[in-house]
Amino acid sequence: MTDSTAQCKRGLLGCLGLNWFFRLLSSSIGQKFVMGVTGLLLCGFLVTHLAGNLLLFAGAKPFNEYAHALHSQWELVAVAELGLVVLFLAHVYLAVTTTIGNYRARREFYVLKQSKVPGRIIGANTWMFASGSVVLGFVILHLIDLRMGLRRSLHYFPDPEAFEAPFHNTMAALSDPISRVVYFVGAIILGVHLSHGFASAFQSLGLNHPKYTPLIKIIGKIFGVIIAIGFASIVVFVPGMWR
């Protein structure tokens, strides 16, 4: 019996040669490592996504040309979207599992040793989970509005043909005052989440150094502010510019 046959008999992961990945995710250190990697990759996606959305300031023609050029390569887009979904789901799953693990560990610690503030278990990880939950809701709304079109309405652009264009579709989504408030708040919370998460990702990867860690934290805060202002500015200014 060959090694590959023996591995296949142990399960699908063994057959695919992914036992190492299962072992990685079975440890808290491995989970944090993968969470850091997925977080940084998602940061890269946010940069490219914001860069494309900023074309909304230029008007309908540049943005529609960008959107159509992007989706004309549907094979690459499909692969990219699948990879993005995997990254996002992995990040969310690991965020939940690590938060639960940290919560249980803190509860056990406070049982053994009373704090000066008994029962206080709120820390950076808890705040990151709370802000991440808001971001998750924001992403779901974004997909419902602009990817699935489940809340589409023609009250902003009554012409159905114009409405189907990416630019007008976005304007229609932003025409709802409640949606604009939700998008604005979501952008701000996303920036807050990134301002801590960016540096935390490097820490999860074990890239800590007394000389460089303070700089990474500063870069993380600047990155969070830029992303927040970028997306929030679209919500605040673009609908009024092209109404």
190 phi/psi in degrees, rounded to 5 = -60, -45
- 23 in a domain, yes or no? no
DSSP conformational letter for 59: -
Helix or strand or coil: residue 165?
coil
User: Per-residue pLDDT tens for 151-169?
Assistant: 555 444 445 454 457 888 8
pLDDT computed for residue 55 by the predictor: 94
User: Per-residue pLDDT tens for 186-205?
Assistant: 999 999 999 999 998 998 88
The whole-angstrom separation of Cα 114 and Cα 59 is 59
The mean pLDDT value for 74-95 works out to: 88
- 172 in a domain, yes or no? yes
What's the mean pLDDT when you consider all of the chain? Answer: 78
- 151 in a domain, yes or no? yes
pLDDT computed for residue 170 by the predictor: 85
Contact partners, residue 65, CB within 8 Å, separation at least 6: none
- 9 in a domain, yes or no? no
Whichever domain contains 227, its CATH number is: 1.20.1300
The mean pLDDT value for 114-134 works out to: 63
pLDDT computed for residue 41 by the predictor: 95
- 18 in a domain, yes or no? no
**Per-residue pLDDT for 56 more than 70?**
yes
Q: Indicate the burial class of 18 (C-beta count within 10 angstroms; 0-12, 13-18, 19 or more).
A: middle
The mean pLDDT value for 38-53 works out to: 94
Structurally, how many domains does the chain consist of? 1
Cα distances (Å, whole numbers) of residue 179 to 6, 136, 147: 54, 15, 15
**Per-residue pLDDT for 228 more than 90?**
yes
Instruction: Yes or no: say if 28 and 94 are a contact pair by the CB < 8 Å rule.
Output: no
User: Per-residue pLDDT tens for 21-43?
Assistant: 666 666 777 788 888 999 999 99
- 32 in a domain, yes or no? yes
77: domain range? 28-241
pTM for this predicted structure = 0.78
pLDDT computed for residue 44 by the predictor: 95
Q: Greater confidence, 229 or 110?
A: 229
- 143 in a domain, yes or no? yes
pLDDT computed for residue 166 by the predictor: 84
The mean pLDDT value for 115-123 works out to: 47
Percent of the chain with pLDDT over 70: 71
pLDDT computed for residue 34 by the predictor: 87
- 64 in a domain, yes or no? yes
Q: Which pLDDT band holds residue 16 (cuts at 50, 70, 90)?
A: very low
